[in-house]
């Protein structure tokens, strides 16, 4: 027996029934899809951007600062009504390991919705992923790695870099040590990765230009635990400075073991040791260590104050660290290019490679034919009372304190 209340009871569906059902379904669907949004917002196409950096490991603090700065830039552009697209993010950890970095590059590159990537703090990873980004046709702007070959070792369109290279860093480092501090003799220790070798090579070049004397150059394995044999050998050379080209964990070991062996020389590092972890782990041994970093302290950058204010409003758990502003600028440059030429990987890569005279929070950015920013800024930092302090603001520069190496040099005389 038929149910008399059913529309089918009359042997068919009426037009009114159809209308009523259609309206109900339409309202239900609208309710399911969420609140009403303006037509313009609804029309915005989604574009995905990826960030790749070391979120775990010895250099994680820099990676997390970079990631947060990337997210800040994306949030700013999504909040901007002028933006043509809505940007979604993919964040991947490269662990500062080349194999993991290549996997991450392949993962984001195989997603056609990802139009560009802001990638890498570690040089060993950045150099390993160059070919992957090229083969995938995915534009990648490096925000922290300093090995020159990342931009100068190929002619690919896809890879560009917003920060300076270790060439500038090491030439300035050599000049600072010889001309400013008056050191003459150097023993170089470096890890045997491309990163460490690159630093040793360009620092050697820099020293040759300013007349510093190299007593020895020693390559050591990355993640080596014991440096006593190398340091004992170096100690016998009586250098005024031991230069270490490598990253934080190994840098800590070299410095701590130097002190334990009673090596009376100044320890000079590179941007690779400029992390809070270096000071926390080395403890008292960190005092008076100096190193060089591309860029300037964030608060001293042209747009640094504005950046820091915006960063603090996001309530990130981690500080932006030295390279955060570079990740922030790289993200804005990438989005600028997408806004101008549309979400097309090839067109975005072309546009980014020709970046000229862009005013950013780190100052003007201009890429050469290799996609390398040619307006690098290098700042010297010194560890003072458990903090990295800009050399010019430090008590060492003011003459209130004496660097350990200068003290040893004076005592020798």
Partner 1 sequence: MPPLEVVLQQAFNGLMLGVMYALVAVGFTLFFGVLDVIHFSHGDIFMLGAFTGLSLTFLWVAVGLGSPAVALPLTFLGAILATGLIGVLTGRGCVKPLAKAPPLMTLLATLSLGLVIREAVLIFYPRGADPKPFPALLPQGLFEVGGVVIRYENLIILAIGGAAMVLVDLIIKRTRIGASIRAVAQDAEAAQMMGVDLDRTVDFTFFLGAGLAAVAGILNGLYYSEIHFIMGIMAGVIGFSAAAVGGLGNVYGAILGGFLFGVLQTLAAAFIPRGSEFRDVVAFAVVMIFMVLKPTGILGEKPIERV
Binds partner 1 by CB under 8 A, chosen from 94, 194, 230, 240: 230
66 binds partner 1 (CB under 8 A): no
Asked whether the beta carbons of 393 and 379 are under 8 A apart, the reply is: no
Binds partner 1 by CB under 8 A, chosen from 99, 110, 232, 312: 232
Beta strands in 135-253, from DSSP E residues, in sequence order:
140-142, 159-161, 185-191, 213-220, 241-245
Instruction: Quote the DSSP letter at residue 11.
Output: T
221 binds partner 1 (CB under 8 A): yes
Q: Hey, how many other C-beta atoms are within 10 angstroms of the C-beta on 407?
A: 14
281 binds partner 1 (CB under 8 A): yes
220 binds partner 1 (CB under 8 A): yes
Residue 385 vs 395, nearer CB to partner 1 = 385
Residue 24 vs 228, nearer CB to partner 1 = 228
385 binds partner 1 (CB under 8 A): no
246 binds partner 1 (CB under 8 A): no
Residue 252 vs 338, nearer CB to partner 1 = 252
Can you say whether the dihedral through the CA atoms of 16, 17, 18, 19 is positive or negative? positive
Read off the tokens for 378: 């290098």
Nearest to 172 by CA among 57, 293, 54: 293
Beta strands in 76-229, from DSSP E residues, in sequence order:
85-93, 114-119, 140-142, 159-161, 185-191, 213-220
| Piece of the chain touching partner 1 by CB under 8 A; list 41-49, 221-229, 288-296, 342-350 | 221-229
User: What is the nearest approach in angstroms of partner 1 to the Cβ of residue 218?
Assistant: 5
Binds partner 1 by CB under 8 A, chosen from 282, 329, 362, 378: 282
Residue 251 vs 304, nearer CB to partner 1 = 251
Nearest to 188 by CA among 196, 200, 202: 200
Residue 181 vs 263, nearer CB to partner 1 = 263
Residue pointed to by tokens 């290549």:
102
Mask: binding to partner 1, 3-42, rule CB under 8 A, as x and -? ----------------------------------------
Read off the tokens for 255: 């410095």
| Piece of the chain touching partner 1 by CB under 8 A; list 138-146, 160-168, 257-265, 290-298 | 257-265
Residue 255 vs 381, nearer CB to partner 1 = 255
Residue pointed to by tokens 């003072």:
384
248 binds partner 1 (CB under 8 A): yes
Binds partner 1 by CB under 8 A, chosen from 15, 225, 410, 412: 225
Read off the tokens for 145: 């790695």
363 vs 340: CA distance, rounded Å:
21
Rg (CA), the chain: 27
- 6: buried, middle or exposed (CB in 10 Å: 19+, 13-18, 0-12)? exposed
User: What is the nearest approach in angstroms of partner 1 to the Cβ of residue 171?
Assistant: 25
Residue 49's H or E segment, with its range, is strand 45-53
Binding site for partner 1 (CB under 8 A): 56-58, 60, 192, 218-221, 223, 225-226, 228-230, 232-233, 236, 248-249, 252-253, 256-257, 260-262, 277, 280-283
């Amino acid at each position: 027996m038929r149910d008399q209340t059913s529309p089918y009871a009359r042997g068919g569906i009426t037009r009114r029934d159809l209308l009523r059902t259609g309206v109900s379904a339409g309202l239900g669907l609208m309710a399911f899809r969420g609140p009403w949004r303006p037509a313009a917002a609804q029309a915005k196409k989604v574009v995905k951007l990826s960030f790749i950096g070391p979120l775990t490991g010895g250099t994680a603090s820099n990676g997390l600062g970079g990631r947060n700065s990337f997210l800040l830039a994306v949030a700013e552009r999504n909040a901007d009504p002028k933006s043509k697209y809505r940007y979604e993010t993919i964040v991947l950890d490269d662990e500062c390991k080349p194999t993991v970095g290549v996997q991450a590059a392949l993962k984001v590159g195989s997603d056609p919705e990802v139009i560009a990537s802001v990638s890498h703090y570690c040089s060993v990873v950045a150099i390993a992923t160059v070919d992957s980004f090229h083969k995938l046709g995915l534009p990648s702007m490096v925000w922290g790695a300093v090995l020159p070959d990342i931009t100068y070792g190929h002619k690919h369109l896809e890879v560009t870099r917003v920060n300076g290279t270790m060439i500038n860093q090491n030439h300035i480092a050599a000049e600072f040590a010889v001309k400013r501090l008056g050191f003459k003799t150097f023993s170089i220790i470096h890890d045997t990765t491309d990163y460490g070798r690159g630093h040793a090579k360009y620092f050697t070049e820099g020293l040759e230009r300013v007349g510093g004397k190299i007593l020895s150059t020693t390559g050591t394995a990355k993640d080596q635990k014991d440096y006593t044999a190398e340091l004992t050998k170096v100690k016998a050379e009586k250098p005024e400075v031991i230069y270490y080209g490598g990253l934080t964990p190994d840098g800590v070991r070299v410095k701590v073991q130097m002190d334990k062996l009673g090596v009376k020389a100044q320890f000079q590092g590179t941007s690779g040791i400029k992390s809070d972890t270096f000071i926390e782990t080395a403890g008292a041994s960190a005092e008076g260590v100096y190193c060089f970093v591309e860029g300037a302290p964030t608060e001293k950058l042209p747009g640094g104050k504005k950046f820091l204010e915006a960063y603090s409003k996001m309530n990130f758990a981690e500080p932006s660290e030295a390279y955060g502003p570079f990740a922030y600028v790289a993200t804005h440059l990438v989005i600028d290019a997408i806004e101008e030429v549309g979400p097309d990987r090839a067109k975005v890569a072309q546009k980014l490679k020709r970046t000229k005279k862009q005013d950013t929070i780190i100052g003007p950015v201009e890429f050469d034919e290799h996609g390398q920013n040619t307006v690098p800024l290098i700042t010297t930092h010194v560890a003072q009372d458990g903090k990295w302090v800009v050399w010019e603001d430090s008590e060492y520069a003011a003459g209130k304190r004496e660097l350990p190496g200068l003290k040893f040099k004076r005592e020798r005389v």
